[in-house]
Each structure stands twice: as C-alpha cells, then as structure tokens.
Amino acid sequence: AEISREMWLAPSVVPSLNDTAFIEKPPLYYWTVAGLFALTGGQSATAARSVSGAAAMLTLLLVFLWGRRDFSPAVGLVAAVGLATSVQFMISTHWIVMDPLLMLFTTIAVWAGFELVEGRGRPRTLFAFYAALTLALWTKGLIGPVLVAVGLLAYAAARRSLAPVWRVRPFLGMGVMVAMTGVIAALIYADAGIAAVREWLWVNHVQRFVHPTYTGHDQPFYYYLSALPIAVFPWWSPLASTLRPSRWRLTPGGAPPSPWHAARVYTGALALGMVLLLSASSTKRGLYLLPVLPPLFLLLGAEAVE
C-alpha cells in the first residue's frame, strides 16, 4: 500500500518504498492501486484492498462461466463456491498484494488456452490469451507467462502429443513475451539505469528461483505437499478423490470415465505443471498457489459433482 501511495504521489516506472527504489516487480499493480487513490481522492485501505477484491470476484465469475460451459452448471457453481471458501483464496484476496491480480490474468490465459487447444479458438481468443499473459508479465514478471507455459507442456505430456499446444502458436507467444519484457526493461533503464534493469531481471528472477538470498522464503522442494492441502481446506474430500489413479484410467472399451474427461485432463495437467514449477523454485509461499487454484477447483468441482 505504501509503494502504491508513493507511486500516486510521484508517478514513475520504478516503484519506491520509503523513497528508495523498489525494483522487485513491474509497475502495473502499483499503477492500478495508485490510479484508484487518484480516483477516490487519496490513499485508503478500502481503495488499496479493492484491487485484490475485484480480481477475486472476476476470477470467481470466470471459473463459474468456464465450469458451466465446459463441464456443467452444477460444476461451475461448486467450483466457484469451493474456490471462494478455500483458505488461501479467502486470506490472500483480502491482502494488498499483487498475486490476486496475477491470478485473474493467468486464469483468463488458461481459459483461452483451453479454447485454443480444443480447436474452438478464434483470432480474438488468441488475442485474449496473449493479452492476459502480457498483463501477467507486467504484474509480477516472467513467472506469470512461465507458469502457464509449463502447465501447457504438462498438458501436452498428458495427451502425449504436442499437436494441441501448437494451436496457441508458441513461437508467436515467445516473440510477444520477449518484446513485452524488452519494453519493461527499456522503461526501467530510462527511469533508473542499467543497474535497475539487472536487479529486476537477474536478482528478482534468476536468483529468486535458484537461491533466494534476500527474500526469506527459502523452502524445501516438498513444501507444497503440505501447503497445497492447507490452501484448499476444507475441500479435502474431492482433492483426495481426484488423486485416485482409477479416476484417470480409461474404461476397458477405451471410453473416458467422465463426460468431462478432456476438460478434467486439461485443468489437472495445468494445476500439476504449475505446482511442479513452483516446487522447483527455491522461493516458496502459500500465496504463490493462487494461480493454481482456479483450474484446480474446476477439477475438484467436477469430482464433487460426479
């Protein structure tokens, strides 16, 4: 909130905390909160919290609509209610942090990705996919697009085919992400010099991933084995049911065990891929699971309804 207040008082590209450059993250989240301060006449807890609250409500709406379309109305409702009442979602979306906004953008991207891999995508769907990834990049850096990319690779592995993933035009996507990263780096350079660019790209991306010296969130690789059940509490029953191998086997005749098998495989693979990437990073927090929760709760909602 203080970073956003200082951004409101002195708009810039590089955020500041106590009048000292704070180059951990891109400026989009701070710009958004600062804009609300300007619209509402000054800083306030309500204005600052409203960004997380609005992102949460829009994510819930998207989960409901996605579930209703590609599963059933009951699954959409159960998934949205389950997500809304899960511990990590309830806590984190009350905080003045950027992760709920990141969650909204990654959820838009994974929904558009499903439309594309299922062959239902249109040019506007592809645009929505890469626009959402760009906003995720400008909100928290490369972790947003990379989370979605790893989730799609996990889906390709589950399908044992790269063909569906080619429908998202990955080479186009890499070009867009490189260009948008370059724009951020250029703006940071113009505002604070090459040292700030290095701190943003190297210290807060590479070093955070391999050795988080400065963050205080260094955790073992198995951290999310306990953090994920805590995050989805109290919805342990559908989580345990989903983990049964029998839920993923085809029937003897080769038919899928569920009318929503394709959507279940997609959401399950996305959630698994994201968790594996988060586990590979040395920096871990329960808060970082927010982008995982929307596809995971669609899977849990289908499991509960079945």
Nearest to 145 by CA among 174, 125, 117, 167: 174
Give the tokens for residue 67.
Answer: 């579930």
Query: Which pLDDT score, from 0 to 100, does residue 251 have?
Result: 60
Whole-number Cα distances in Å, 154 to 1, 34, 39: 36, 37, 42
Whole-number Cα distances in Å, 204 to 139, 140, 214, 277, 283: 13, 10, 9, 16, 11
Q: Tens of pLDDT along 288-302?
A: 999 999 999 999 999
**Rounded distance, CA 156 to CA 158, Å?**
5
The answer to whether 292 and 106 are in contact (CB under 8 A) is no
According to DSSP, residue 283 is labeled B
Query: Which pLDDT score, from 0 to 100, does residue 256 have?
Result: 67
Query: Which pLDDT score, from 0 to 100, does residue 261 have?
Result: 87
**Rounded distance, CA 170 to CA 116, Å?**
12
The answer to whether 2 and 9 are in contact (CB under 8 A) is no
* Residue ranges in the chain whose pLDDT is less than 50: none
According to DSSP, residue 11 is labeled -
Give the contacts of 194 (CB within 8 A, at least 6 positions apart): none
**Rounded distance, CA 48 to CA 40, Å?**
10
CA angle 297, 301, 305 (to 5 degrees): 170
**Rounded distance, CA 275 to CA 69, Å?**
25
The answer to whether 209 and 281 are in contact (CB under 8 A) is yes
* Strand (E) or helix (H) holding 21: strand 20-21
- Give the number of other Cβ atoms within 10 Å of residue 35's Cβ: 16
**Rounded distance, CA 27 to CA 188, Å?**
10
According to DSSP, residue 24 is labeled S
The answer to whether 35 and 51 are in contact (CB under 8 A) is no
According to DSSP, residue 257 is labeled S
Question: Residue 179, Cα to own-chain centre: how many angstroms?
Answer: 20
**Rounded distance, CA 153 to CA 276, Å?**
12
Q: Nearest 5°: phi and psi at 16?
A: -135, 150
At which residue do the structure tokens 């279940």 appear?
264
Query: Which pLDDT score, from 0 to 100, does residue 214 have?
Result: 58
